[in-house]
Structure 1
Amino acid sequence: MRRGIAATALVASVALTATACGGSDSGGSADGPVTITYWDTSNATNEAPTYKALVKEFEAANEDIKVNFVNVPFDQAQNKFDTAAGASGAPDVLRAEVGWTPAFAKKGFFLPLDDTEALADQDEFQASLIEQAQFEGKTYGVPLVTDTLAFVYNKELFEKAGVEAPGTWDDLKKAAATIKDKTGVDGYWGSTAGYYAQPFLHGEGTDTVDVEGKKVTVASAEAKKAYETWAGLFDGKGLHKADTTADAYAHQQDAFVNGQVASIIQGPWEITNFYKGSAFKDKANLGIATVPAGSTGKAGAPTGGHNLSVYAGSDAAKQEAALKFVNFMTSAKSQETVALKNSTLPTREDAYTDKVKADPGIAGYQRVLSAAQPRPELPEYSSFWTPLDDELPQIASGKKSLDKGLSDAETAIAKLVPDFAK
């Protein structure tokens, strides 16, 4: 799963510092190429080779710049960069999860990119994604890939049951029961992870916090209604019971791709894995729809993805090279390449070429992006997943009541934002 704040503690090594950090030794001589270091945080097996190939293409077109490509595991990258930047030894360019931007910008680790070469094509990017890369009026990242959650379903099983993609959570409960009756498999398998409960909050017009009002709202009346709906989807005909094991994500995913459950809530990072399952050898069998709406009548899903950011501590020559590199990596041509190779979503409309949209998974997720909600401009926001990931499984399994679990989550979140009221 590509969500959450990295919990792995940094164990800095001499080797990583020497090879992966943008220190003065890697700047190149006065008449030689400038060397910049790029920390790539994509999946080392499925995605990184595409980015590495683009780096080679960039170097071929810019002989005065060399790029030291380092693939850093996603679950370690946030802590590693935080420590390296604090010691003035961070990489010159970081592929950063969108939730990291406010925190690193607040610390002064990221270079503002407004009016630089990196953002020369700013108007081509989706406005909400540029907004998500900003902090206190300045832009600190260029959107590289985006994602959101969608309702994904097995078209064949839905057609056998005579049901359609649900428009509301109540519709989903009814459809799940019908699918169970008609096909024998569960109609829906929900997640107990905090990120995957976000659509329920958006469907009630709320969130874990009200940033403008400076208030923790995870236990508000609206949030309780959202989580009641969420919890109600673990019990009933055709609804898979809550899986709170360490391998819950893999269990759910395997069941879906092999036709053992008809629908789940999932993001586009699993597109390539969907196609590897027996249920989706015919890619056209993959259904993708906007997440169901809540009682407000509106549907909403969280926005995720990654930006490219430039380290504020690099020297002028390396920053100039880094800005040119970021512009190249986020160009329409590069994003088209990444989408075709990795089945990820571009962040600019001109990258959704006919070739890209020929992938039904990408085309499907592009259609639901309008329901994606930008994250609040709050450095601590991404940290809220940790207490939710602790409390929601206990609520779903019946170990804690809804009121007790949300009260405990409220207390934990309030500690992260002590100037917010409860």
Structure 2
Amino acid sequence: MELNRRTFLLGAGAASLPLLLAGCGFAPPAADSTAATGTLTFTTWGTDAELAGFKAAIDRFQKANSGATVNLNAVPYGQMFTNIDAQLQAGNPPDVFRVPYYTFGSYAGRGQLLDLSTQLEQGFSDNFTPQAWAAVQNSGKPYGVPHHTDTSVILYNKDALTAAGITNIPTTLDTAWSWDEFEQVMKTLRGSLPAEKYPFAYNWQGNGVTRWLSWLFESNGRFLSEDLLTPAIDSPAGTAAVDFTKNFFTAGYVPQNNSVKSTTLAADTWYAQTSAMTSGGAFLIPDATSTLDFEWGATFSPRNERSAGDFGGNALVATAATTQPELATKFLAFMTEQEEMSQFCASASLLPTRADLIQSGIDFAVRPELSPIFVGQASSVQAQDSSQVASPNMSKIITVLQNQLEEAFVGGQSTADTLANMTSGIAAATAPA
């Protein structure tokens, strides 16, 4: 199955949510190690590389468990959750499915996922980084496994930056451009590029609007208070984030069609050499390497009060209605074993969630020299930021962000009104039904 790049970028690469809860150190009772048998259905979307990785892993799982069968159902991303929701409502969902971290909370919060707290082996949580393990928690219990992550860095056209005299490209997270330095880079490029080309494009289209929150987090801001219900975005940090990103449009640093609700993706703008830089995830690497006819590199996202990032990627979950809970749990655990995760992430250009793989490093099959940049950027994700995105109300909050940022960027709405409208919208989204 071939996945359309445009559809995939709009949805699957969106920002997500490590969530540091009491369950982060979760170590449930040891599960029965007796091999489970039976048949599972596994529904997912994926790029060609991801689907190949899933098929290979399923083959290895079935060989290791001769009595088990996993039927893979690959669907287009655009149909994925419409189908899942309809099947859940009808009472015939798949046993296992793939879900973005930012959507995980809504399924777990509705009781639609299998509680793994009595299924997983003792110490299973120790395999993962705290941020990754917390991303699959709900009320202190795990309802999935963190399969992989991704985060956005700056991809740049080397010739465009060199022509503008920009040769000092940050090579470590600690030396990433500050906001002021990044604005100077964009200003320099604006003066060097023809009017029909732009310095930058940001990947906040579609559900990727959650990536805008990185600017808020870089200013030590929040959009929800610690109770994860009360709006907190109307703050000096919120003002700084809205003002800074609005200036992308007023100063001509990004094209007008780089807005949140645009159907033109940031990556497409960069691919067409309409922009010199773009924000993008590691999953873009294979496509960019095979299709681009210009030299390009990657560097870290800018920092303000501190560095921050989006925790993208996906979890694997079992549905509460599965008739094969032991087999489903065994499959989830297998998919996150060290060798399985290493192979999947390396071939698909994604980031691991296991602590041992983060420590040892991982080399992408394509452009392996870029791996440390993405892994380093992912390390800037903090639970105090991303725990907010774990709200079961996040889908409603995403709509608030989309509407208000669109008005701020291209509708002429003031920063004060934008923050006030975000505050009232978030309050409505988190209010009890």
Alpha-carbon separation, structure 2, partners of 1:69 and 1:196: 30
Match of 2:275 among 243, 261, 266: 261
1:403 to 2:416 alignment: yes
Check whether the contact 1:339–1:345 (CA below 8 A) recurs between aligned residues: yes
Structure-2 residue corresponding to 1:64 = 67
1:261-280 alignment, distance < 5 Å: 261-280=275-294
The number of residue pairs the alignment matches comes to: 385
CA gap 1:192/1:245 in 2 versus in 1, 3 angstroms: closer
| TM-score computed with the length of structure 1 as normaliser | 0.81
1:103 to 2:118 alignment: no
Query: What SS is found at the alignment partner of 2:198?
Result: coil
Match of 1:144 among 118, 142, 147: 147
1:206 to 2:221 alignment: yes
Gaps of at least 5 residues in structure 1 are 7-31
1:259-338 alignment, distance < 5 Å: 259-280=273-294, 285-289=296-300, 291-294=301-304, 297-315=305-323, 318-338=324-344
Structure-2 residue corresponding to 1:176 = 186
1:190 is matched by which residue type in structure 2? Y
CA-CA distance at 1:5 after TM superposition? 12
CA gap 1:309/1:245 in 2 versus in 1, 3 angstroms: closer
Check whether the contact 1:189–1:241 (CA below 8 A) recurs between aligned residues: no
Match of 2:391 among 378, 400, 416: 378
1:343-362 alignment, distance < 5 Å: 343-351=349-357, 355-356=363-364, 359-362=368-371
Alpha-carbon separation, structure 2, partners of 1:84 and 1:224: 42
CA-CA distance at 1:254 after TM superposition? 2.6
Check whether the contact 1:36–1:68 (CA below 8 A) recurs between aligned residues: yes
Query: What SS is found at the alignment partner of 1:216?
Result: coil
Structure-2 residue corresponding to 1:84 = 87
CA-CA distance at 1:258 after TM superposition? 4.5
Alpha-carbon separation, structure 1, partners of 2:13 and 2:350: 21
1:187 is matched by which residue type in structure 2? P
Structure-1 residue corresponding to 2:231 = 216
| TM-score computed with the length of structure 2 as normaliser | 0.79
Check whether the contact 1:5–1:382 (CA below 8 A) recurs between aligned residues: no
Q: Which has the higher contact order (CA 8 A, sep 6+)?
A: 2
CA gap 1:122/1:370 in 2 versus in 1, 3 angstroms: same
Check whether the contact 1:196–1:265 (CA below 8 A) recurs between aligned residues: no
Match of 1:42 among 36, 39, 46: 46
1:145 is matched by which residue type in structure 2? H
* Worse-matched range after superposition: 407-416 or 384-393: 407-416
* Worse-matched range after superposition: 155-164 or 341-350: 155-164
CA gap 1:273/1:365 in 2 versus in 1, 3 angstroms: same
Structure-2 residue corresponding to 1:24 = none
Check whether the contact 1:34–1:321 (CA below 8 A) recurs between aligned residues: yes
CA gap 1:198/1:347 in 2 versus in 1, 3 angstroms: same
* Worse-matched range after superposition: 411-420 or 67-76: 411-420
Match of 2:247 among 232, 236, 248: 232
Residues 45-102 of structure 1 show CA distances to partners (whole Å, capped at 9, x for unaligned) of: 4522321222122212212011111123334433433443344322111211112222
Query: What SS is found at the alignment partner of 1:222?
Result: helix
1:332 is matched by which residue type in structure 2? Q
1:73 is matched by which residue type in structure 2? P
CA-CA distance at 1:3 after TM superposition? 4.2
CA gap 1:118/1:416 in 2 versus in 1, 3 angstroms: farther
Match of 1:112 among 115, 140, 144: 115
Alpha-carbon separation, structure 2, partners of 1:279 and 1:218: 42
1:34 is matched by which residue type in structure 2? G
Alpha-carbon separation, structure 1, partners of 2:102 and 2:187: 37
CA-CA distance at 1:418 after TM superposition? 1.2
CA gap 1:94/1:56 in 2 versus in 1, 3 angstroms: same
Alpha-carbon separation, structure 2, partners of 1:327 and 1:2: 29
Alpha-carbon separation, structure 2, partners of 1:256 and 1:82: 35
Alpha-carbon separation, structure 1, partners of 2:429 and 2:90: 24
Check whether the contact 2:342–2:352 (CA below 8 A) recurs between aligned residues: yes
Gaps of at least 5 residues in structure 2 are 1-8, 15-35, 170-175
